[in-house]
Structure 1
Amino acid sequence: MDRKPTKRGLGRGLSALMADVQPETTSDAATTAPRRPDMMVPIEKIEPNPDQPRRRFETEDLEDLSRSIKEKGVIQPLIVRVSPRDSLKYEIVAGERRWRASQMAQLHELPVLIRDFDDTEVLEVAIIENIQRADLNPVDEAAGYKQLMEKFGHTQERLAEALGKSRSYIANSMRLLQLPEDVIEHLADGRLTTGHARALITSDHASELAKQIVSRGMSVRDTERLVKKAAQGETAPKPRAASKSAGEKDADTKALEGDLSAAVGMKVSVEHKDGTEQGKIVISYNSLDQLDEICRRLSAVE
């Protein structure tokens, strides 16, 4: 099979690079019509980029995508270039997730778009592809914007225009990286939302407040009030003690409630019936978004 790489002119800007990268979805079905591939390539002739900035690929997500590929095939072609290590192979520029899922689906060949990218452009496209992921957490998204600006000199205005977002969105996203490391970890793991994190940016006590917010499952509005009180030198109000008629909970139960609240990012109450092995767990939500998150997590359990 003859190789006919698609040549690209020098000096293409960020918007031109963006045009090659389609946002990935779990079903591999994009909202726009799929691009016509340049050719089909045997899967064993395709290799991953060793400098790919994305290192984690969730097994469950790959299995979901693999099932979709078995049913519908690979809808969006991979973007590749001739491998700099082996001229008889192709290196993935964008689409490693599809390549991994296709291996699981035991496909023999994949559709590809061939581009003549240099090493710098390969890294740039890889970062852009990661930013476009639907399931990207706000910390990784902000880190992607920072990389594009620091490594390639892109301004917030250029990023906003190419990505179809406002400049203030880019700026507010990158401000999240100013938070202490422990707060950033809560945000990356989903224990805090972007709204919580934005309220904490201006606080001198972000770490301490974040622990309270997570353990108590506080809403964004309650967080804003907590931050305001802390700035005024007031201590945060303590949770009201449980009614004595309900019985005082032991230390182990309270510790369990704290662990569960931190895990789900919402207030969790464990109510155990004394003298039995029965009880119930109550998850309190403060918004419809939190309710949707509870439903999503429960629906994902097999």
Structure 2
Amino acid sequence: MAEEAQSKSRLGRGLAALIGEDTAIDLGDTEAAEARGIRQVPIEYLRPNPFQPRHTFREEDLADLTNSIREKGILQPIVVRPLADEENAFEIVAGERRWRASQAAQLHQVPVIVRELTDHESLEIAIIENVQRADLNAVEEAAGYQRLIDQFHYTQDQLSKMIGKSRSHVANLLRLLSLPEKVRAYISSGELTGGHARALVGRPDAEALAKQIVEKGLSVREAEALTRKDGAAKSGGGRGTASGSAPKEKDADTRALEKNISDALGLNVDVVHKGESGGEVKVHYKTLEQLDEICRRLAHGGGSGGGLVR
């Protein structure tokens, strides 16, 4: 456990901590490159990374990178780790886009840095590289974080420190995984942004609303207004005043409480006050694993943090 924690702390500094701060080295200078542990290997020796969080490789982006590599070559080495069960084979840890573009540019050799890395180190570095370069869409980023949580027992706090972003950013992204598959497909294709998608989390009609947003080309603010208007219309059906007015909007304290609990759990939470008769707290989950995590945190008082709401 101590070794794993030390590894997380070391790698949390980012990709530059692995290959050095100065990445502008002239790779044509063989002596300087070798001093940095950089060497040229045949391109066919490289294998894609099964832990790669990025699944969408836009053709136009790869075409631009291919043209750049044809003109200037690869400016930053690809980070790889050796494959124990295959001779002269390396698994890509960081730089799969460069590898794909190099194949398209018909290069025979590529510069690499070889490192001995565990599976969780390989996944973490792949996520760091893509997040720092803004190469992941929101769903891919969220799926990468969820994999670190599921397979390597990361907490949201550890993830936020690793990527240098707030815990609420991590929690909001993880909530996107509860959206219907069609909505997540809109995000992957670039038709919806993460901002659009956050307005749809927890909505039973998320797919229909997403379709409206895409077809009308709505901005994030317009999408938020649409979901508020649609939600008020549906919840007011017969429950409003005699004049048919919508129910009273939640006050700032209630919204802040919902956000606080949502950020702590990483799930969508709805707080409904019913006056003197009390109220309801609804926690929306998608998988049994998420339900198990809720039960575990309730049973243990929220873990080491001393409570669910912090």
Instruction: State TM-score, norm by structure 2.
Output: 0.61
Q: Give the corresponding residue for 2:233.
A: 233
Q: Give the corresponding residue for 1:82.
A: 82
Q: Which runs of 5+ in 2 are unaligned?
A: 26-32, 236-310
Q: Give the corresponding residue for 2:183.
A: 183
Shift of residue 188 of structure 1?
2.2
**Which digits, 9 at most, give the CA deviation of each residue in 1:100-126, with x for residues without a partner?**
222333434332222111344334433
Which amino acid in 1 is paired with 2:7? Answer: G
For residues 219 and 43 of structure 2, what CA distance do their matches in structure 1 show?
Answer: 50
For residues 219 and 124 of structure 2, what CA distance do their matches in structure 1 show?
Answer: 37
The reply to whether residue 46 of structure 1 matches residue 45 of structure 2 is yes
The reply to whether residue 172 of structure 1 matches residue 147 of structure 2 is no
Shift of residue 40 of structure 1?
1.5
Which amino acid in 1 is paired with 2:73? Answer: G
For residues 143 and 95 of structure 1, what CA distance do their matches in structure 2 show?
Answer: 19
Shift of residue 223 of structure 1?
2.6
Bigger CA drift: 149-158 or 106-115? 106-115
SS in 2 for 1:84: coil
The reply to whether residue 61 of structure 1 matches residue 61 of structure 2 is yes
**Which digits, 9 at most, give the CA deviation of each residue in 1:78-116, with x for residues without a partner?**
112222123434332222221222233343433222211
CA contact (8 A) 2:127 2:141 kept: no
| Count of matched residue positions in the alignment of Structure 1 and Structure 2 | 221
Q: Give the corresponding residue for 1:116.
A: 116
SS in 1 for 2:86: coil
Which amino acid in 2 is paired with 1:16? Answer: R
Q: Give the corresponding residue for 2:10.
A: 16
**Which digits, 9 at most, give the CA deviation of each residue in 1:181-210, with x for residues without a partner?**
222222222222322222222433222222
1:1-302 alignment to 2 at 5 Å?
11=4, 12-19=6-13, 21=15, 33-34=23-24, 37-44=36-43, 46-49=45-48, 51-53=50-52, 54-234=54-234
Structure 1 runs of 4+ off > 4 angstroms? none
Which amino acid in 1 is paired with 2:207? Answer: S
Q: 1:59 to 1:90 in 2, by over 3 A?
A: same
Shift of residue 167 of structure 1?
0.9
Q: 1:208 to 1:86 in 2, by over 3 A?
A: closer
CA contact (8 A) 2:93 2:125 kept: yes
Q: 1:142 to 1:52 in 2, by over 3 A?
A: closer
Q: CA RMSD in A?
A: 3.1
SS in 1 for 2:81: strand
Q: Which runs of 5+ in 1 are unaligned?
A: 1-8, 23-30, 236-302
CA contact (8 A) 1:46 1:92 kept: no
CA contact (8 A) 2:94 2:126 kept: yes
For residues 136 and 224 of structure 1, what CA distance do their matches in structure 2 show?
Answer: 23
CA contact (8 A) 1:128 1:144 kept: no
For residues 99 and 220 of structure 1, what CA distance do their matches in structure 2 show?
Answer: 35
Q: 1:222 to 1:82 in 2, by over 3 A?
A: closer
For residues 189 and 61 of structure 1, what CA distance do their matches in structure 2 show?
Answer: 14
**Which digits, 9 at most, give the CA deviation of each residue in 1:3-44, with x for residues without a partner?**
xxxxxx95442242345636xxxxxxxx96447641322224
Q: 1:88 to 1:225 in 2, by over 3 A?
A: closer
Shift of residue 133 of structure 1?
4.3
For residues 43 and 218 of structure 2, what CA distance do their matches in structure 1 show?
Answer: 50
Shift of residue 168 of structure 1?
0.9
Bigger CA drift: 176-185 or 54-63? 54-63
Shift of residue 231 of structure 1?
2.3
For residues 176 and 76 of structure 1, what CA distance do their matches in structure 2 show?
Answer: 33
For residues 66 and 217 of structure 1, what CA distance do their matches in structure 2 show?
Answer: 31
Shift of residue 166 of structure 1?
0.9
For residues 224 and 123 of structure 1, what CA distance do their matches in structure 2 show?
Answer: 34
